[in-house]
Amino acid sequence: MDRFVTLEVDEHGVGVIRLDRPKMNALDIAMQDQLKEVADEATRRRDVRAVVLWGGEKVFAAGADIKEMQRMGYTDMVERGPDLQGAFDAVARIPKPVVAAVTGYALGGGCELTLCADIRVAADNARFGQPEILLGLIPGAGGTQRLARLVGPAKAKDLIFTGRMVDAEEALRIGLADYVVPAEEVFATAHAWAAKLAAGPQYALRAAKEAVDRGLESDLDTGLTIERNLFAGLFATEDREIGMRSFVEQGPGKAKFN
């Protein structure tokens, strides 16, 4: 089977999940399955301390493979739907910082994949959108849920109801992108973010991500309980010992974590 999604890990502990299916990284079933495999691998591997999602210099991912999808009926999608969402969930649940490096189009499933990241670095030529409504559909890989949580329900409905694309400037303004840089700097910027986080306290970063993500799915009291338990648990880690000892002996911001 051809490999359209790969994981490469560098000396900084950054794992690059690379989408590479010519011409537009259309997310067909094979690519979805490989995405889950690679996300699970990034979760398991101890040498992966942070992740960059990267579609290449020209395009992040222009959406699903519509020709493949056109051949599917209701029962086909009943069977396939859990695996489709499961692939994206696997990325969202990587318990390490995940940075999306977005160039060109991030549409449909491509946009939904960026929503699975913790930070989105967009090129000045990036275009985001959920155009499924133009096919008589709605987003099916988490878009109705993650987009609304990220940009708010009103703006999410605007994008989903109309199917329109937003440029990098608007994406930044509404919170769909966190940083906008020249296209030739996207990967380097995303990688620098990931490398910085890869050098941080891994268990504390894992706990912070879990607290925010699980808290958003809960009421405030439940979220505070999640935070309290994770906070207390970190007192059993070497990360906490290193961080506090460095602070006392050298001052803030100088700790070197293992």
* Whole-number Å distance between alpha carbons of 19 and 92: 16
Q: Is 112 a catalytic residue?
A: yes
Q: Is 185 a catalytic residue?
A: no
Question: 112, 185, 238, 241: which is the annotated catalytic residue?
Answer: 112
Q: Is 98 helix (H, G, I), strand (E, B) or coil?
A: strand
Contact 142, 88 (CB under 8 A): yes
Q: Give how far the C-alpha of residue 174 lies from the chain's centroid of Cα atoms, to the nearest Å.
A: 17
Question: 132, 169, 227, 249: which is the annotated catalytic residue?
Answer: 132
Q: Is 179 helix (H, G, I), strand (E, B) or coil?
A: strand
Helix (H) or strand (E) holding 109: helix 109-115
Would you call 124 exposed, middle or buried from its count of C-beta atoms within 10 A (0-12, 13-18, 19+)? middle
* Catalytic residue annotation: 112, 132
